[in-house]
Amino acid sequence: MALITRQIPRIFIQATQGAAVRSIHNSTISNSPVLAQRPDTRVTATLIPGDGVGPDLVYSVQEVFKAAGVPVDWESYFFSEVNPTLSAPLEDVAKSISKNRVALKGILATPDYSHTGELQTLNMKLRNELDLYANVVHVKSLPGVKCRHSNIDCVIIREQTEGEYSALEHESVPGVVECLKIVTAKKSQRIAKFAFDYAVKNNRKKVTAVHKANIMKLGDGLFLRSCEEMAKLYPKIEFEKMIVDNCTMQMVSKPQQFDVMVTPNLYGNIVDNLASGLVGGAGVVSGSSYSADCVVFEPGARHTFSEAVGKNVANPTAMLLCASKLLRHVNLTVYSDMVRNAVEKVLQDGKVRTKDIGGQNSTQEFTYAVISNLELPKA
C-alpha cells in the first residue's frame, strides 16, 4: 500500500511533465544508507492547517513528504477562530503540541471585531497556553525570486506574549478607550537572551534591538535596558539599537545592514511583514515560534489569503520551507536538505512559478515540480 501511494505522485508528474522525470521516489528508502538504517523510527508532529489557503499549503507539504518518504506522522487538528463550531478545543491542540514538541501550523484568521467581547484572539490564546514567547522569522532572498533588493539575510526575533498584545483594553469613560501595553523585565530579558543565543548558535555577528524608547521611556526603556544588560554577556556579538521608525526606513533602503533583530511585539509584527515584502511576500517567508519546550513552525508573514481559497494559486514555498525547518529541528537533516534543495531548485529554474512571484502556475503544479526535483544529497 505504501508503495502504491508513493507511486501516485509519480504518475501525476509524468502526466504533467512528460518524460523528464527522475525515478527516485520508489527507491528513496533503499538507496540511502543513512535513511535505510532506521526504517521504523518515526516522528509525530501536530498539524494545524489553519484558515484561508492553509489547507492547500499543508496538502502540498504532505504530498512532498510522501514522495520523499519522510518518516513523519501528523496529528491533524482543525483549529479556527472564524469557524468556532468546527474548531478543536484549545486544550486538545495545546496538549498535542506539548506532547509532540513540534507542530506545523497555517495561519489563523482573526476577525476585526469581537462578537463575544473576548479580547484575546485564538492565536494569542495558543501562544499564551504554550508560552510560545519567541517568534523567529528568517528573511532571506531566495534564488530566482525577483525583488528590489538582493542578498537580504536577516532574522527578526519578536517577543509575542506581552506588549501591545496583552489584550488589556477598556473604556473608562464613554468615548475614551485605554489600551495597556505591558513590558516586563523577565520577558524582555528572556527574549534578549533568546536573540543573542540564536546569534551565537547560527554564527551571526550583530544583534539590533528595535525600540521606541525615546517616546515610551519606561515601557520600551525597560526592553532596551534588558537588551543592553544581556549584550554584556556576549562580548563577541555586536549590539546596536535602532528606533523603530528609522528601522523601517533603513529596512526598505538598505536591508542588507541587518543581521539579527530583536523587537517587542507590535514592532516585530510590522517589521516582519515589511521585511517579508522585500523578499517576495507572504508566500515565501517561513517562521517559527519557540517556547522552552516546543516549536511551532508557521509562515513568517501572517496572512490567510482567503480570497484565493479554491483557486489553486497560493504559493506553498513558505510552508515547504517551514516543513524543512521542522525536519531539521527533529534531527532529520537529510530530509530537511532534500526538501529545501528541491524548493530552491524549482525557484532557481524559474520554469514553474506561482502568480505572486510572477508566474502562471498553480499550487499543484508547483508542488509536483518540487517533488520531481527531490534529490538525495550526495554522501
Partner 1 sequence: MALRFVQQCPIKWASKLARAQSTLSAFEIQHKTPLIKKQSPIPIAMYGGRHAVTMLPGGGIGPELMEYVREVFKYAGAPVDFEVIDIDPRSEESDAFDYAITSIKRNGVGIKGNIETKSESAAITSRNVALRNELDLFVNILHCKSFPGVPARQKDIDIVIIRQNTEGEYAMLEHESVDGVVESMKIVTESNSDRVARYAFEFAKRTGRKKITTIHKANIMKLSDGLFLETSKKIAKEYPEIEHNDMIIDNCCMQLVSKPHQFDVMIMTNLYGSIVSNVLCGLIGGAGILSGKNYGDHYAIFEPGTRNTGTAIAGKNIANPLAMLNASVDMLNHLGHKEHADLIMNAMLKTVSEDHLLTPDLGGSASSTEIVQKIIDHILQADIRPW
Given the DSSP bridges, would you call strands 134-140 and 286-290 parallel, antiparallel or unpaired?
antiparallel
Residue 236 binds to partner 1 (criterion: CB under 8 A): yes
Regarding 233 and contact with partner 1 (CB under 8 A), the answer is: yes
Residue (285 or 332) nearer to partner 1, CB: 332
Among 143, 292, 311, 349, binds partner 1 (CB under 8 A): 292
Cell of 113: 471585531
Reference 193, options 226, 224, 241; nearest CA is 226
Question: Binding residue for partner 1 (CB under 8 A) from 40, 91, 112, 307?
Answer: 40
- One residue of 175, 232, 307, 378 binding partner 1 per CB under 8 A: 232
Question: Under the criterion CB under 8 A, does residue 204 sit at the interface with partner 1?
Answer: no
Residues in contact with partner 1, shown as a per-residue x/- string from 41 to 60 under the rule CB under 8 A: x-x-----------------
Smallest distance from the beta carbon of 16 to partner 1, in angstroms? 35
Pairwise CA distance, residues 112 & 109, whole Å: 10
Task: Decide if residue 197 touches partner 1 (CB under 8 A).
Answer: yes
Q: Considering only residues 119, 180, 200, 215, which one is a binding residue for partner 1 as defined by CB under 8 A? A: 200
**295 lines the binding site for partner 1 (CB under 8 A):** yes
Is residue 325 a contact point for partner 1 (CB under 8 A)? Answer: no
Q: Does 138 bind partner 1 (CB under 8 A)?
A: no
Q: Which stretch binds partner 1 (CB under 8 A): 17-25, 56-64, 114-122, 198-206?
A: 198-206
Q: Under the criterion CB under 8 A, does residue 99 sit at the interface with partner 1? A: no
Q: Which residues bind partner 1 (CB under 8 A)?
A: 37-38, 40-41, 43, 101-102, 134, 186, 189-190, 193-194, 196-198, 200-201, 229, 232-236, 288, 290-295, 329-332
